[in-house]
Amino acid sequence: MLEKMEERLDPEAVIEEFEALSRDAERVQRETLRTILEQNGESEYLQRWGLNGRTDPHSFKTRVPLVSHVDLEPYIQRIADGKSPSALTGKPITTISLSSGTTQGKPKFVPFNDELMDSTMQIYKTSFAFRNREYPIANGKALQFIYSSKQFKTKGGLAAGTATTNVYRNEKFKKTMRAMQTPCCSPDEVIFGPDFNQSLYCHLLCGLISRDKIQVVSSTFAHSIVHAFRTFEQVWEDLVTDIRKGSLNSRITVPSVRTAVTKLLEPNAELADKIYQTCAGLSNWYGVIKELFPNTKYIYGIMTGSMEPYLKKLRHYAGGLPLLSADYGSSEGWVGANVNPLLPPEMATFAVLPNIGYFEFIPLKEGSDGGERDAVGLTEVEVGEEYEIIVTNFAGLYRYRLGDVVKVKGFHNSTPELQFICRRNLLLTVNIDKNTEKDLQIAVESAANLLASEKQELVDFTSRVNSAVDPGHYVVFWEISGDPQNNEVLQECCNCLDRSFVDAGYVGSRKINSIGPLELRIVRKGTFHKILDHYVGLGAAVSQFKTPRCVGPNNGDVLQILSVNVVKSYFSSAY
């Protein structure tokens, strides 16, 4: 009993630590930069810029340039090949993280080390502490739709895997989950299973077996939760049969997964009947999560940015349960924690932890000469302004352009609270038009509302620019829940999409036909699952998957999947 008490996290102590850090964010930032530069000053990369032991922000910003991933790629590749383990850091990098690859079409290699793992756990603990104030958890379990991809060895012998895989395989992660009293209801064999579909089925089964103990339903991204319960609609009767018989059906063929889950199963007709009656009594699966797991306090996962389009369906499944957006970070590292859990996901903000890295911000307002303005420090940002984030971390990224655009919504003590806006490099553009991922999302949401008259819904979407014709035009791909039968409604959806892009460059170009009519292409059911399978086949973890919202020239395979599955096409007549 004493050991269990010692393992428990003290939420108020975590909050007190965060309050102390955020009250003096500028000092903490200077100390963090000094620590990073002292630890890594002898690295090849920092030696190149002639800091000569200087660790102050002015010297750092003056001498070390802003970079993107392509600038550091040669260093990271030599680290992965074992040729220069300390090219970027004082201590050799021993682990490589892979990004999802959905933005650029292929995964990026990113250095990962113990300090980044510690930052991850600090973020997890901080946001949990604030959630726990509003939604206390006590000796429960979590139904976590998390999946690990395989780790492999690089040419130089380093362990490599997706960022989520590196976290899930770390003992610190399991210890932290136990300390937060939300251990995953599924055994490790399910999380680390080689077949995503089998793991998903077993996650659902393990959740149902522990239904009264489930207090949190979560995943890294909201998409995974929505996908899980779309799948549940198809397989629930098989799950009920397994519980009734106390044995797994033949769809689970991975021996390790089958053995681990079988140990949890025993015949339970009472539970099977309860689940059957619950599902049979639901109208269009509204509130299925709340009904199946009656003690759930909230649903948790990243719900901002490219995840916002899934919120409508997630709320449908949740049936009134609170949706809490998880923290803000990337494969390159973490930025901030959600310390305002009562805000809806669309308004979620993230308070920057000033000790997990050194942060700079490039104002998106153009300078007086029309060029890019100089980066400002963490405490120098202004409320209401938008910025691109620059990250310097403990794993060898220095003045690294993360590519994210954020808006400063306020301050928590002296550290800013950020709202994620969009990825800066995801643009639909033909000539002078500039439409971001957020602009696309707003247009799609507006047009998708028209599907309600047909009792259909949008499953997923993406886009591209077709420059092979003159004039070039936007192409938007939709997968919808039913058969695309009503051409009039879909034509109006197409017109609405076109009208909903309000960027002045776009509207003006459409009116003079220097941008052609927008094209809406309807794809077969399951097309976006094929895209998911494609990325999983490249080594991505399902937990990390994000549907690419703009399919560029580097995503030829994805474009091929979309193109061969188009069943109907419409051109806008809005202009």
The pLDDT value given to residue 118: 86
Owner of token pair 């819904």:
457
Residues 462 and 534 sit within 8 Å (Cβ to Cβ): no
Owner of token pair 């080689």:
194
The pLDDT value given to residue 539: 65
The pLDDT value given to residue 5: 38
What pTM did the predictor assign?
0.81
Q: What gap in Å lies between CA 432 and CA 377, rounded to an integer?
A: 32
Q: Is 443 exposed, middle or buried (0-12, 13-18, 19+ CB in 10 A)?
A: buried
CA distances from 378 to 25, 139, 169, 330, 404 (A): 8, 38, 32, 18, 15
Residues 295 and 213 sit within 8 Å (Cβ to Cβ): yes
Q: Which residues of the chain carry a pLDDT beneath 50? A: 1-6
DSSP 507: H
Q: What gap in Å lies between CA 438 and CA 69, rounded to an integer?
A: 23
The pLDDT value given to residue 540: 63
Residues 284 and 317 sit within 8 Å (Cβ to Cβ): no
Q: In this structure, how many other beta carbons lie within 10 angstroms of the beta carbon of residue 26?
A: 15
Residues 541 and 162 sit within 8 Å (Cβ to Cβ): yes
The pLDDT value given to residue 370: 64
Owner of token pair 């021993």:
94
Question: What residues pair up with 302 in beta bridges, in sequence order?
Answer: 221
Residues 304 and 328 sit within 8 Å (Cβ to Cβ): yes
Q: What gap in Å lies between CA 198 and CA 190, rounded to an integer?
A: 8
The pLDDT value given to residue 402: 87
The pLDDT value given to residue 368: 59
DSSP 331: T
CA atoms within 13 A on the CB side of 416: 25
Owner of token pair 């659902």:
204
Helix 196-209 to helix 222-245 angle (10° resolution) is 70
